[in-house]
A and B are shown apart, each in its own frame.
Chain A
Amino acid sequence: MTDQELIWRISGGSGDGIASTSQNFAKALMRSGLNVFTHRHYPSRIRGGHTYTEIRASADPVRSRGDGYNFLLALGDSFARNPQEGAVYGNEEIKPLSENLDELREGGVIVYDEGLLDPSEIPNFDERVEENDWHVFPLDLRGLARDMGREVMRNTAGVGATCALIGMDLEHVEDLMRDAMPEKILDPNLEILETAYDQVREEYDVEEVGVSVPTGEHEETQLLMSGSDAISYGAIDEGCRFIAGYPMTPWTEVFTIMTQNLPELGGISEQVEDEIAAAALAVGASHAGVKAMSGSSGGGFALMSEPLGLAEMTETPVVLVEAMRAGPSTGMPTKPEQSDLEHVLYTSQGDSQRVVLAPGTVEEAYEQSRLAFRLAYEYQIPTILLYDQKLGGELVSVPKSHFDREPNPTLGKTLTEEELAEQPHSADGKFHRFQHDAEDGVTPRSIPGQKGGRFLATGNEHDPTGHISESPDNRVAQIDRRTQKLEAIRADLDTVDTSSYAGPADAEYGILTFGSQQGTVEEAVDRLNDAGVSVKSLGVSDMLPFPTEEVEAFVESVDEVLVVEMTASGQFRGLVQKNLGRYGEKLSSLLKYNGNPFEPAEVVDGFEAAIVEGDGDASGHQTTFVPAAGD
């Protein structure tokens, strides 16, 4: 990463249009040839509160939000339009400007709406500006917007001012506004954009501003896509045409994207009464021969443990997505955490089996969404796609060609009526749905309405024809066969490398992580190596079945390993130790669970303090170090 990067933060209240404005600006930056990565921070409320979106743009690859930022556009809070003396909403005071300053880098730029915000309320503001060499531009964005139409267009004025200050021409922003806006509001918005741009360039010497837009060029077309987009498109390309769900943040994003797209493809989306019903609907649709999915976040997924077990016992393929947020119970609805890992690994009673995949990047989210469907249908097993609010919501530039893949609508081992009529599927005139001796544990299925395929699917233990059985021999044969599928899937996954390595292969130290922290860790690994520390990382995606051999080889090859995860109890580290059986003396943990994902610098600091210096004091940014334990 060169110094040449723009990290632009737009801050305001929920309901101020922060998300849509930043999405357009991120796209404009992407279209100008830059790689972008966005990070969203928002409270669990409809309007007001402190919310911001950060866009990191660089000619180099960007894999995380970065550390801090260098350009602030502070719009104010939506409540600030009618400010009340000492207004307190919930337990948050309105601090749209001051809350952002701690992370603003030296030499950074502040543009604030002087009609809404008053920096004199911030203690020592002028001193801090001087100390940090910040460039401050008070602009009457609201007034400008009001003069030219409506106050809500102050976002556009802010973007115009930004472009003027960083030396970006308006071409891409204007193109996007033409694409996205209805004619009625397009002209006033274009006018306000240009007016703000011109005013700033006339009034200020923009050459003095230390932050500028980098220049870059893409070799191929890029897309601005979120983890939720990628999961949805992966499902569609794998032939999923049925989704059932109940809204819950952040899973709602996938549910909404699928619902908006499925009817166009002749598919079906159902919003139902609760999550038990949602997962049961997916099971019912799959039983009837359709590729189906459901999903939720922690609390809703808890309700799904029943139908999850039913899918496993009846060997009905189904994909459930679990979008993690901080728990337990309602937890922090809009904040990321990775602490549902053990929940999805172990929920549901009995020796139940499922596949759990945890993609690390937006690209992987697409691939592993497809993989989840392929495994579910080929092996007739419930598959869970585990990700978190961070990966689901971050918008990242990805090469378009990544998504240029052939569809795969196949149902897996499902018999035709001709095959159903033949041995060995039809013995004594009955279809044997759950034979004991399947090669990889998978016995072919039939679909209701097919001639000769009648069978009973039941959540009770059952014999080869599907009828309820409590015979000891049958029980052992059936449970062994179902368990055998995981071995077959493990072997299958070895050919589909879903583990991501970074850093030199012969490094002295290692960092293990999973899911959405992968990119951040990789960036930290680059920085550590640049600073002369020999370290490599492995981002694990297969949670179950676990890639024991690869992880063991990784741990074996280094002196010490730091396990980085967003949990308080080290759930991923526990999973690693459970699967490896030893190496506890090599594994230390760096944990973060304050509602924010890791920043690369935190991983760097934590690694240096814990591993290089060895004093274990890595709690600089609310991170926690848990040292190694002997085996």
Chain B
Amino acid sequence: MSTFSAIGEEREIDRDEYTPGVEPQPTWCPGCGDFSVLKALKQALPEVGRTPEETLLCTGIGCSGKLNSYLDTYGFHTIHGRSLPVARAAKLANPDLEVIAAGGDGDGYGIGGNHFIHTARENHDMTYIVFNNEIFGLTKGQTSPTSPKGHKSKTQPSGSAKEPLKPLSMSLNAGASYVARTAAVNPNQAKEILIEAIEHDGFAHVDFLTQCPTWNKDARQYVPYIDVNDSDDYEFDRTDRVEAAEMMRTTEEALYDGEVLTGRFYVDEDRPSYGQEKRQIGEMPEEPLAERYWDDDYEWERSYDRFVGKHE
């Protein structure tokens, strides 16, 4: 019996396996967009063929962070903004794990912005889902990095003087090899995008537009429910950085005018993931490092035999 026998197990997977046995009542508000992310993940993971026990879900803090409680995989609910460094180390330690990180727009683009840039830059093989509802929810309605200019809140009483951050463009420029946007109001597309993102071999960034019916009723992205367009309906080369960048720029500016465009924006299947790169230059073992600690036949090298001699 292998030590990590849940990894790579091929069997039919039931959606209910991802539901905790004693179902905790989600603390999300009625009508919250986060329910859609949970549902789409529960649909996508069995379809990709990933069992709950080979999946590690790392989340940040906020309403999005509670995803861990309602999706029964191996989980690490970290601290505000820090899901990515925890997730990428777990992936390096055991590349056979399916690693998914999730957080909100404040968590991922604000406090965790630096980690976001560098994880995308390194192109770690993982999926990063950002619940983007343009507001801080759990701390009760403050302006977030994606809130529109002029957004009024208790912390920006005169209306925000800041331009909203453009996550898709940021991700592309930082080096992510898969960049997509989907929306809670489009569950079919959400499922398809998540399947693609999970299967993608590299850093897959999914900006997931979610609604916050409690603190952000005015957000335009979900007010016109029917006006969500699919990037598939537009002619552009998704593998071309320049064309993808132009589409993203247009889309991200139009979002705040109520024109919601979702779908795949950039797909680079050729770029090797960070793990592959590290293995190629000899900075990472071929076999998962985590397995070695369970291998009774592995002969652990000592500094005495290997390095100490040069100090003589």
Query: Chain A residues in contact with chain B, CB under 8 A?
Result: 31, 221-225, 229, 232-233, 236-237, 239, 241-242, 244, 261, 263-270, 272-274, 276-278, 280-285, 287-292, 306-307, 309-310, 314, 400, 403-407, 409-411, 416-418, 428-430, 447-460, 466-468
Cβ contact within 8 Å between B86 and A283: yes
Given that A273-B114, A407-B302 are known contacts, is A430 also in contact with B77, CB under 8 Å in the complex?
no
| A268-B278, A400-B308, A448-B90 known, 7 other contacts, Cβ within 8 Å | A223-B308, A237-B302, A242-B92, A269-B283, A284-B85, A290-B290, A447-B290
CB-CB under 8 A for A448 and B289, given A239-B300, A284-B88: no
0 or 1 for each of B89-102: is its CB under 8 Å from A? (1 = yes): 11111101100000
| 20 A-B contacts (beta carbon < 8 Å) | A242-B89, A261-B307, A263-B284, A266-B292, A268-B278, A268-B283, A273-B115, A274-B114, A276-B85, A281-B85, A281-B88, A283-B89, A284-B93, A287-B76, A288-B91, A409-B293, A448-B94, A453-B74, A454-B53, A468-B66
Q: How far is the CB of A448 from chain B (nearest CB, A)?
A: 4
Q: Which of B89, B301, B311 meets A223, CB within 8 Å?
A: B311
Question: Contact at A221–B312, with CB atoms within 8 Å?
Answer: yes
User: Which A residues are in CB contact (< 8 Å) with B301?
Assistant: 236, 265, 407
Whether the Cβ atoms of A289 and B290 lie closer than 8 Å is yes
A285-B1 contact given A239-B293, A274-B114, A454-B72, CB 8 Å threshold: no
Q: Which residues of chain B (265-308) have a CB below 8 Å from chain A?
A: 278, 282-285, 289-290, 292-293, 300-304, 306-308
A290, B93: Cβ atoms closer than 8 Å: yes
Q: Is B172's beta carbon under 8 Å from chain A?
A: no
CB pair B78–A459 under 8 Å, yes or no, is: yes
Complex contact A411–B293 (CB within 8 A): yes
Q: B126 to nearest A CB, angstroms? A: 11
Q: Whole-angstrom distance from the CB of A487 to the nearest CB of chain B? A: 27
Tell me if A306 and B290 are in contact (CB < 8 A): no
Q: Which residues of A are found within 8 Å of B69, using beta-carbon distances? A: 456, 467-468
B47 close to chain A: CB less than 8 A: no
Would you give the shortest CB distance from B287 to chain A, in whole angstroms? Answer: 8
Kindly list chain B residues whose C-beta atoms are within 8 Å of the C-beta of A291.
293
Q: Are A307 and B79 in contact (CB under 8 A)?
A: yes
Contact assessment for B4 and A449 in the assembled complex, using a CB-CB cutoff below 8 Å? yes
| Chain A residue at minimum C-beta to C-beta distance from B54 | A449
Residue picked from B54, B87, B93, most chain A C-beta under 10 Å: B93
In the complex formed, the residue of B with least CB distance to A468 is B69
Provided the pairs A288-B56, A447-B290 are in contact, do residues A455 and B74 lie with their beta carbons within 8 angstroms?
yes
Given contacts A266-B285, A287-B76, A459-B77, contact A453 B53 (CB under 8 A): yes
Partner of A267, one of B52, B117, B289: B289
CB proximity of A528 to chain B, nearest CB, Å: 33
Are A405 and B307 neighbours in the complex by a CB distance under 8 Å?
A: no
**Measured CA separation A346–B3 after assembly (Å):** 38
Tell me which of B52, B53, B289 contacts A266 (CB under 8 A): B289
Whether A263 contacts B282 by the Cβ 8 Å rule is yes
Q: Which 3 A-B pairs have the closest CB atoms?
A: A284-B89, A449-B4, A284-B86
Interface-centre pick from A233, A239, A244, A291 (highest chain B CB count, 10 A)? A233
Inside 8 A of A264's CB, which chain B residues have their CB? 306
- CB of A454 within 8 A of CB of B74, answer yes
The CA-CA distance from A30 to B197 in the complex, in Å, is: 59
List which B229-246 residues lie within 8 A (CB) of chain A.
none
Q: Which of the residues A268, A416, A466 comes within 8 Å of B284, measured between beta carbons?
A: A268
- What is the bound-complex CA distance between A430 and B73, given in angstroms? 12
A411 to B91, CA, bound (A): 18
8 Å CB contact of B93 from A285, A306, A307: A285
CA distance A447 to B74 in the complex (A): 9
Q: Are B56 and A223 in contact (CB under 8 A)?
A: no
Pairwise interchain contact B282-A242, C-beta atoms closer than 8 A: no
Residues of A within 8 Å of B66, CB to CB, are 468
Which residues of chain B come closer than 8 Å to A314, judged between CB atoms? 76
Name the distance in Å between A224's Cβ and chain B's nearest Cβ.
Answer: 5
Chain A CB within 8 A of B75 CB: yes
Cβ-defined contact, B293 with A290, below 8 A: yes
Q: Closest CB-CB distance, B69 to chain A, in whole Å?
A: 6
B190 to chain A, nearest CB (A): 24
B125 nearest CB across to chain A (Å): 14
User: B residues within 8 A CB of A428?
Assistant: 21
Q: In whole Å, how far is B19's beta carbon from the nearest beta carbon of chain A?
A: 12
CB contact between B311 and one of A229, A241, A287, A429 (< 8 Å): that residue: A229
Expressed in whole angstroms, the Cα–Cα distance for A601 and B84 within the complex equals 52
B118 on the A face (CB < 8 A): yes
Interface centre among A404, A410, A428, A467 (most CB of B within 10 A): A467
- CB of B92 within 8 A of CB of A270, answer yes
Which residue of the partner chain B has the closest CB to A397? B311
Give the CA-CA distance A306 to B283 in the complex, in Å.
28
Q: B5 near A: Cβ within 8 Å?
A: yes
Query: Which residue of B has the minimal Cβ distance to A221?
Result: B312
Distance (whole angstroms) from the CB of A391 to the closest CB of chain B: 16
B292: chain A residues at CB < 8 Å are 241, 266, 409
Q: How far is the CA of A456 from the CA of B24 in the complex (A)?
A: 13
User: Contacts of B52 on A, CB cut-off 8 Å?
Assistant: 454
Q: How many angstroms between the C-alpha atoms of A591 and B304 in the bound complex?
A: 38
Tell me the bound Cα distance from A292 to B90 in angstroms: 11
Are B303 and A233 closer than 8 Å at their CB atoms? yes
B93–A449 CB distance below 8 A? no
Q: Is B223 an interface residue (CB 8 A)?
A: no
Q: Are B289 and A449 in contact (CB under 8 A)?
A: no
The reply to whether A236 and B303 contact each other, CB–CB distance below 8 Å, is: yes
CA distance A507 to B283 in the complex (A): 55
Residue from B58, B284, B300, B303 in contact with A284 in the complex, judged by beta carbons closer than 8 Å: B58
Q: With both chains docked as a complex, state the minimum distance between the C-beta of B297 and any C-beta of chain A, in angstroms.
A: 13
For residue B29, CB closer than 8 A to chain A, the reply is no
B296 to chain A, nearest CB (A): 11
> Is A242 within 8 A of B85, CB to CB?
no
Shortest CB-to-CB span from A217 to chain B, Å, is 16
- In the complex, B64 has a CB within 8 A of chain A: no
**B68 adjacent to chain A (CB < 8 Å):** yes
CB within 8 Å for A285 and B114 given contacts A263-B283, A290-B289? no
Q: Which residue of B lies closest to A411 (CB)?
A: B293
- Residues of chain B within 8 A (CB-CB) of A241 are 289, 292
Complex: how many Å from CA A224 to CA B309? Answer: 10
What are the residues of chain B within 8 A of A416 when measuring CB–CB? 3
Among B4, B7, B74, B307, contact of A233 (Cβ-Cβ < 8 Å): B307
Known contacts A233-B303, A449-B96, A456-B75: does B289 contact A287 (CB below 8 Å)? no
In the complex, A409 Cα to B289 Cα: how many Å?
Answer: 12
The listed residue (B97, B278, B285) touching A448 by CB distance below 8 A is: B97
User: Cβ of A452: which chain B residues have Cβ within 8 Å of it?
Assistant: 53
Q: Is the CB of B97 within 8 A of A288?
A: yes
Pairwise interchain contact B90-A285, C-beta atoms closer than 8 A: yes
Cα–Cα distance between A411 and B290 once the two chains are bound (Å): 10
- Structural contact, B308 and A449, CB atoms closer than 8 A: no
A13 CA to B56 CA, complexed, in Å:
52
Q: Which residues of B contact A225 (CB under 8 A)?
A: 311
Residues of B within 8 A of A456 (CB): 68-69, 75-77
